[in-house]
Structures are given as structure tokens and as C-alpha cells.
Structure 1
């Protein structure tokens, strides 16, 4: 079963890479005026920390806004499309090296993909102001999960590598919702990790589950964003290519890293970015 999942991920990665590349070639003379270097570095940094379990969406949202590399209305599509291939690389690596019960993994990742496929077409057509407010609230939710995990307010964690019965049904339903809202630019890692802990599973199992969930949902969501043209092509392409480098550095070069201080720094960045998003969204609503 794990081999089948791994094979499907490889095929999905090839498919979405081809779709992205063909769309890039089709519009190569109409690319945005942002910087290859800046967006590439953003993708490398974001996916480096993503592989370590911190998450990339909040970090990249902050950096893309601070460096003014894309319009707010294109952020959800740019994040999903740009990070799809690097995230799939993470999943391919961690599903092979971390033991997890196959049916738990399969059902949770399929649920997240179904949620993303349902909602991506809707998010792609939302006005910029709605996206700003949605992402601002999403970043606040992500920050709450990060604080709850850091402060041990979320009880749970154990040695289990899989779920059954009611717990499995709850996990599947929750991942469906997480997959749906991720298309709005909400990172799945923090809430998924909190879910795994709360249901009594081993912390290590969180990595293949959350990475596998994102790896299955992001190609589906990305395809919808690409077809709608609701993403920054230049930024997404740069993030995808440089992001792979960040994944491999984190997975194979960095053996250990003290993340406690860094998590608090990231939390501060998330809160600041959430405030900027909400302020802009609320101001536009008043106008």
C-alpha cells in the first residue's frame, strides 16, 4: 500500500510539473515584472523550513508581501502552485522513511485532496478584498495552533502509528476541511500536526501525514488555479524550482537544528502579516 501511495505521488508530481511548464511556455512572453531572484529565494527559504515542519505558506506570504512580488488576489494560487512540487518531494521522502499505518495515511490524504478539489475553483474567483480577510483570519488561526502546540495546551501525542474507528473518521473529516481551506492560502501543517497529537499518534507520524495530505491536495488545487490563470506564473515557477533545493538541503544536509527560537520568530512574522492583511481588507471594506 505504501509503495502504491509513493508511486501515485511520483506520477502526480510529473503530471503537475508538465502542466505548470506548459502553462509557463504558453505565457512566457507575458510574465509578470517581479524578480526571479527574490521569488526563488523566498521559495528556497519557505520550503527549507517547510521540510522541518514549520510550514511555508505563512513565511512565504510575509516575504512575498514585504518584497511586493505579487498581488494579494493571486497569493492563494501562487502559494499552492509554487509549493506543489517541493511539497510532493517532501512527501515522497518522508513516506519512505517514517512508518505509518497505510489506511490511516490513505484515507487522510484522499480526504484532503477531495476538499481541495471542491474548493479551489471557488477560491480562484474570489475578489482581492475577500482573499485578504480570509488569509488574515487564516494566519491568525495558524498562529493559535502554533502557540497551542508550543505551550502544550493541546493534549495528546503518543506512540500510535495509525487510527481506527471513531478517531479515524474524525481525522478523515477534519482533513477534508483542512484540505478545502488550504486553497485559500491557509497552511495545513500546524493544524494537521495538532490533530495528530490530539488523537494520540506519534509526533513522527505527523510528517508523512501532513506532507502526504498536502502532496495529494496541492496538484488538484494547483490544476484549478492554473486553468483559471489565478496565480503569479513567474513567482510560482521560481518558488517551485528553488523550493526543491530547500527541501533537499533540509532533508539530507541538515541533521539537526534548534527550532524553538525560530518558531517564535516565525510566529511574530505570521501575526504581523495577519494584521497587515486584515487592516487592508477592513479598510477596503469601509471604502
Structure 2
């Protein structure tokens, strides 16, 4: 069953790559005209996905960087956050699913439910005004900050030893994963939320990684293909996301035991600063209106 799951993951992500390449070719004259910096964007991708491999929200970090650097409009930010994740998370998922033991039923329920949420989300996001998207992004930054801070201060359980869920815990986790998949599409990343859920359900903390990577590696390409179809994402940032693979491989294979405590404190400060900046921007738009 695990082999079938890996084959399904490869097929879904390969389909996304084909759709993305076709869209790049169709809009090849527009890609390099997009505002993302061709030098700093690849460097940023390496750092973003290096941290993401340890469970630090790449949605939140990307939002902090992109909103400050003006690399993508707020309207196209949710689609960009989803599309840029597909290829690096694909690599992460193969690394973790093949090396970390999690019950196959639990893994399948989490992946399928998150994929369903991701499929429905883009049709809602495309109808939202920029102000509302900015508000969702601020919430996402604050949620990510709260979860990181909660883990460091011991407010969130450290988890247990289980590798499989049963009964109401499995059903509740499935419902939450559906919600997390939908929230991805408004710029609220699911990594931190999934990690907190897995801990609260009494699972082994390491089990969070194949669950959150597996769920995202199916849900992200499904949702991102909708954003591609709706022309609501940055092609340049998504193209440069292939450099994120470098960050993933460094984290997975070279520094598995890295102590990220100091990095997490830095990330907390950056996320709070970014949330405040977006709040100020919302206030400015309200004043101008």
C-alpha cells in the first residue's frame, strides 16, 4: 500500500509539472517581466525550504519576504504560496514517507481529506478582494507564530508514542485536515497546524512529518493546478522554487539533528513584524478609501 501511495504521489505531482510547463510556455514572454528578483528569489527559496523541512511554516516565511520585497501582488499571493511549494514538498514527502513509520490508514485519511479541501479552496479565493486576502494572511502569520511560540513555551503537548489513529481521533483529524487543505488556499499554511494536531492526538512527534508532507504533496498540486487555470499566481517564483530542493536536501540528508531553537525565535520576530506591516497596509488602504 505504501508503494501504491508513493506511485500516486509521483503521478499527481508529474501532472502538475506538465500543467505548469505548458503554462510557462504559453506565457513565456511574461515570466521574466514579473517583479520577483532573479538572483535573490532562488536564494530565498533555498532558505525557505531548508526551514520548512524542519516544520517551520514556509507560507509564513514566504509571505514575510514577498510582501516586503513586493515580488508578488497580494491578490496572487495565495496561489503563489501553493504553487511554489509543490516541487520542494514533493521531494520532502518522498524522503519522509519512505523513512518514517506511520499507520497507512491514518496517512491515507489525512492525505485524502486535505486534498479534498485543497480542491475546493481556489474557487473561493479567486472571489475574495485583496483586503480580505490580506486579513487571512495576517491571521495565518499570527497562527504560525502562536504555534511556534506555544511549542517553545510548552503550551502545546509534546506528543505521545502512537503511530496510528483510531475511532473519533481519526475522524476528527480527517475533518481538521480537510479544513487545513482549504486554508492553504487563502495563504494559511498547514504545516504548523498539522504538527499541533498530531501532537494533541497523542502521536509520536516524528509522525507529523510524513502526515503533513504527504497531505501537502497531494493537496498542493491539486489546488495549484486550479490557480494556474485561473491565472492567479506568480510563474517566476514558482519556476525558481526548484532551488528549494537544495534547501530540502541539505536539511534532510546533512543536518537532520540541527537545533533550530534560535532560528525559531528569529522566525517569530520576523512573522510578527510582517503581520504588523500587513495590518498597517490594510489601515492605509482603508484611510485612502
Give the TM-score band, short-chain normalised. Answer: over 0.9
Structure 1 stretches (4+) deviating beyond 6 angstroms?
A: none
Counterpart for residue 258 of structure 2: 257
Counterpart for residue 20 of structure 2: 20
Distance 2:232 2:123 in 1: 10
Distance 1:45 1:124 in 2: 29
Counterpart for residue 238 of structure 2: 236
Counterpart for residue 206 of structure 2: 204
User: How far has the Cα of 1:39 moved from its partner?
Assistant: 1.5
Alignment of structure 1 residues 79-228 onto 2, 5 Å = 79-155=81-157, 157-228=159-230
Distance 1:263 1:77 in 2: 26
The alignment yields a C-alpha RMSD, in angstroms, of: 1.3
Counterpart for residue 284 of structure 1: 285
User: Taking structure 2 as the reference length, what is the TM-score of the superposition?
Assistant: 0.95
1:240-267 CA distances to partner (integer Å, 9 max, x unpaired)?
x111121112111223212111101101
Distance 1:51 1:90 in 2: 7
Residue pair 1:77, 1:124 contacting (<8 A) in 2 also: no
Gap runs ≥5 in structure 2? none
Gap runs ≥5 in structure 1? none
Distance 1:60 1:73 in 2: 15
User: How far has the Cα of 1:124 moved from its partner?
Assistant: 2.7
Distance 2:115 2:11 in 1: 15
Residue pair 1:129, 1:285 contacting (<8 A) in 2 also: no
Residue pair 1:140, 1:274 contacting (<8 A) in 2 also: yes
Distance 1:276 1:236 in 2: 24
Distance 1:111 1:196 in 2: 15
